[in-house]
């Protein structure tokens, strides 16, 4: 067997090779969705992604006989240190053939890079933060990934556990049949009641985000996001530059109908929800490329999307008891069309987030995917 080599990414050509590693590993699996190569190149570009204003990272490729067989990143985020204390380093973008030697070499390389920089714990995968794709899929292998989700084969979990990695936290994806609910309304009566009180007692109104003013709307959403998630395990608030960066990426995806702002009578933003059309239904047919016909497939395919992902839904602290979340839930129900977008996923939701998980149960939801973050002492 040819020698296994782990080498860092040094050139743009290397970076493209890094991005395309999963294309070779998963090309025969119908559930895996190829990401846009251009998008991933931009995201991993240290000069363009504002993550690198407060972080450093190294990218590694595993090769055997000159052929890529895996990849990993190792990163240190100073904002993580600020909000959660020093000592933790992360790994991300983990991909590997089903070979403990390859996976072990990648994980050891990332751990060694972090250890050399004084880190005592490794956590991941994070691509790069909990605001991005996170975790290893450990349940729901038979379901296609939605927008901003990874898909992994079952052996990934075994590779990590065999190498001494333990569970740090599970994140849940809930499935909601909104179209059926609109007809049969299985929402718990308390959710309906809270939504009515939100409007009648507290004067909360829910409106669509305005795409013509999307940069400002995403900034309003980010204000809610950073405050509402502030106490969550592993959360690091997004900087203004990161908000702007992600807004540019999402502008082509966001549907005003599903992007919501809840406002108090004084005009204050009380809450927000960012629900995204599942563009993966289109990307699955594009093989990671916009040219020569990718744009046409993208534009035509957008019309056929029939599911959404509730990416984030939150309420500002001052409005936690004003029924704002219920009002946002009910607006989702009103938006659901049995002939258009009757269903979707909600999450990630931390397994320890009892209020949100109870809310999902109250709406008739079902956990259909589980992602796991792993950790190990260095």
Q: pLDDT of 209-264, one tens digit each?
A: 987 887 788 888 899 999 988 888 999 999 999 988 888 887 778 888 889 999 99
Residue 71 lies in a domain: yes
- Return the pLDDT at 181: 52
pTM assigned to the model: 0.92
| Residues 179, 199 share a domain | yes
Domain boundary among 138, 169, 200: 169
Host domain of residue 215:
174-373
**What is the total count of domains within the chain?**
2
Do 275 and 344 form a contact (C-beta atoms < 8 A)? yes
DSSP letters for 297-317? HHHHHGGG--EEEEEEEEE-G
pLDDT in tens, 15-33: 999 999 999 999 999 999 9
| Residues 189, 164 share a domain | no
CATH code: domain of residue 277:
3.40.630.30
Neighbours of 233 (CB within 10 A): 15
> Helices in 35-167 by DSSP H: which ranges?
37-43, 78-84, 100-116, 155-162
Neighbours of 272 (CB within 10 A): 28
- Return the pLDDT at 184: 46
| Residues 287, 200 share a domain | yes
| Residues 349, 262 share a domain | yes
| Residues 272, 318 share a domain | yes
Domain boundary among 123, 153, 169: 169
Selection from 275, 23, 279, 246 nearest residue 145 by Cα = 279
Structure tokens at 88: 């933790």
| Residues 199, 148 share a domain | no
DSSP letters for 7-26? EE--SHHHHHHHHTHHHHHH
| Residues 106, 210 share a domain | no
195/325 Cα distance (integer angstroms): 8
Neighbour-count burial for 322-354, b at 16+ CB within 10 Å, e otherwise: bbbbbbbbbbbbebbeeeebbbbbbbbbbbebe
Domain boundary among 117, 139, 169: 169
- Return the pLDDT at 248: 81
| Residues 85, 136 share a domain | yes
- Return the pLDDT at 186: 63
pLDDT tens digits in sequence order for the chain, 378 residues long: 789 999 999 999 999 999 999 999 999 999 999 999 999 999 999 999 999 999 999 999 999 999 999 999 999 999 999 999 999 999 999 999 999 999 999 999 999 999 999 999 999 999 999 999 999 999 999 999 999 999 999 999 999 999 999 999 999 999 987 765 554 456 778 888 999 999 999 999 999 998 788 778 888 889 999 998 888 899 999 999 998 888 888 777 888 888 999 999 999 999 999 888 888 888 888 888 765 555 556 666 667 788 889 888 899 999 999 999 999 988 888 887 666 677 889 989 999 999 889 888 888 889 999 999 999 999
138/117 Cα distance (integer angstroms): 30
Residue 105 lies in a domain: yes
Selection from 60, 136, 67 nearest residue 105 by Cα = 60
Which residues, in sequence order, are bridge partners of residue 8?
60
């Amino acid at each position: 067997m040819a020698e296994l080599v782990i080498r860092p990414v040094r050139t743009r050509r290397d970076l493209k090779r890094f991005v395309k590693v999963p294309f070779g590993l998963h090309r025969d699996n119908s559930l895996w969705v190829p990401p846009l190569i251009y998008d991933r190149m931009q995201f991993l570009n240290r000069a363009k992604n504002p993550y690198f204003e407060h972080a450093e990272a190294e990218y590694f490729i595993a090769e055997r006989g000159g052929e890529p067989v895996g990849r990993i990143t190792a990163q240190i985020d100073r904002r993580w240190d600020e909000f959660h204390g020093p000592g933790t380093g992360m790994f991300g973008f983990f991909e590997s053939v089903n070979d403990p030697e390859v996976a072990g070499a990648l994980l050891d390389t990332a751990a060694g890079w972090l250890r050399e920089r004084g880190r005592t714990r490794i956590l991941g995968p994070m691509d790069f933060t909990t605001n991005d794709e996170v975790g290893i899929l450990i349940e729901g292998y038979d379901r296609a990934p939605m927008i901003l989700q990874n898909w992994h084969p079952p052996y990934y979990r075994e590779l990590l556990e065999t190498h001494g990695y333990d569970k740090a936290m599970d994140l849940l994806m809930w499935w909601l049949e909104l179209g059926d609910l609109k007809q049969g309304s299985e929402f718990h009566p308390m959710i309906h009641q809270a939504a009515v009180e939100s409007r009648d007692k507290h004067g909360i109104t829910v409106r669509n985000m305005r795409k013509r003013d999307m940069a400002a709307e995403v900034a309003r959403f980010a204000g809610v996001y950073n405050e509402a998630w502030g106490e969550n395990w592993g959360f690091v608030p997004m900087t203004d530059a990161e908000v702007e960066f992600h807004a540019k990426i999402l502008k082509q995806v966001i549907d005003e109908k599903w992007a919501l702002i809840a406002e108090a009578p004084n005009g204050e933003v009380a809450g927000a929800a960012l629900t995204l059309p599942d563009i993966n239904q289109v990307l699955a047919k594009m093989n990671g490329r916009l040219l020569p016909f990718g744009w046409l497939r993208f534009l035509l395919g957008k019309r056929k999307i029939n599911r959404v992902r509730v990416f984030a839904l939150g309420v500002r602290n001052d409005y936690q008891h004003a029924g704002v979340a219920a009002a946002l839930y009910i607006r989702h129900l009103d938006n659901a069309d049995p002939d258009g977008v009757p269903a979707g996923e909600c999450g990630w939701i931390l397994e320890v987030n009892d209020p949100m998980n109870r809310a999902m149960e109250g709406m008739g939801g079902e956990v259909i995917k589980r992602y796991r973050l792993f950790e190990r002492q260095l």
